[in-house]
Amino acid sequence: MTDFEEIYRLYFDDIFKFLRGLTANEHLAEELTEETFFKALKEIKSFRGDCDIRIWLCQIAKNSYFTYLRKQKCISNDEQLNSMEISEKSMETLLVDKEIAFKLHQILHDLEEPYKEIFSLRIFGELSFKQIAVLFGKTEHWACVTYHRAKEKIQKRMEEYE
C-alpha cells in the first residue's frame, strides 16, 4: 500500500463528514471528497508538514466547496467568500464533542429567525438552497447568503463559549 493510499484510508471519513457538514448534501459531499483527494494526490509533494495532514485536506476540501459555490453563483465576490471562511474548529469538529454539541443546539435554539429556520432546513432537513428559496418565496442567492450568515452567527457565539 502506498503512503497516499494510507492517507486516503485514514482520512476519507473525516473529510467526507467535514464536507457533509458544510454542504448538508450527502451526494455533493461524496463528489467533493473525491475531488479533494484527487487534488491532494496531485499536490502531495507540496505538503510541508507544518500542520496536521487532516487540516491540509480540510483546507483543500473547503476550497473545493467554495469553487463549487462560485460556479453555482451562491457567492459572487471575494468579500462574501472571506466572510464565509471557516475557523480551524469547523462546525463538524465542534459536533464531535457532545458538550459543545449541546451548546451548539442551545445557540441554534436562541438564534433569531429566519436564520434559525434556514440553518435547520439546510443542515438537518438537508434541503437545497433552491428548495429553501421556494419555501420562503425568495431567491436561491438569498437562501445561500442567509444560511452562511446564520453559520457565522453560530460560529461567533461558539467562540464566546471557548
pLDDT at 4: 76
CATH at residue 154: 1.10.10
The count of structural domains within the chain is 2
pLDDT band at 123 (very low <50, low <70, confident <90, very high): confident
Q: 80 and 51, same structural domain?
A: no
pLDDT at 2: 54
pLDDT band at 18 (very low <50, low <70, confident <90, very high): confident
pLDDT at 98: 58
* Residue finishing a domain among 71, 102, 127: 71
What digits encode the pLDDT tens for the residues 45-82? Answer: 787 767 678 878 888 888 888 888 877 766 555 544 44
- Flag whether the pTM goes above 0.75: no
For the ranges 38-47, 71-80, 106-115, 142-151, the lowest mean pLDDT is seen at: 71-80
DSSP string, the chain: --HHHHHHHHHHHHHHHHHHHHHS-HHHHHHHHHHHHHHHHHHGGG--SSS-HHHHHHHHHHHHHHHHHHHTTS--SHHHHHHTPPPSS-HHHHHHSHHHHHHHHHHHHHPPTTHHHHHHHHHTS---HHHHHHHHTS-HHHHHHHHHHHHHHHHHHHHHH-
pLDDT band at 161 (very low <50, low <70, confident <90, very high): low
Residue 87 domain boundaries: 76-162
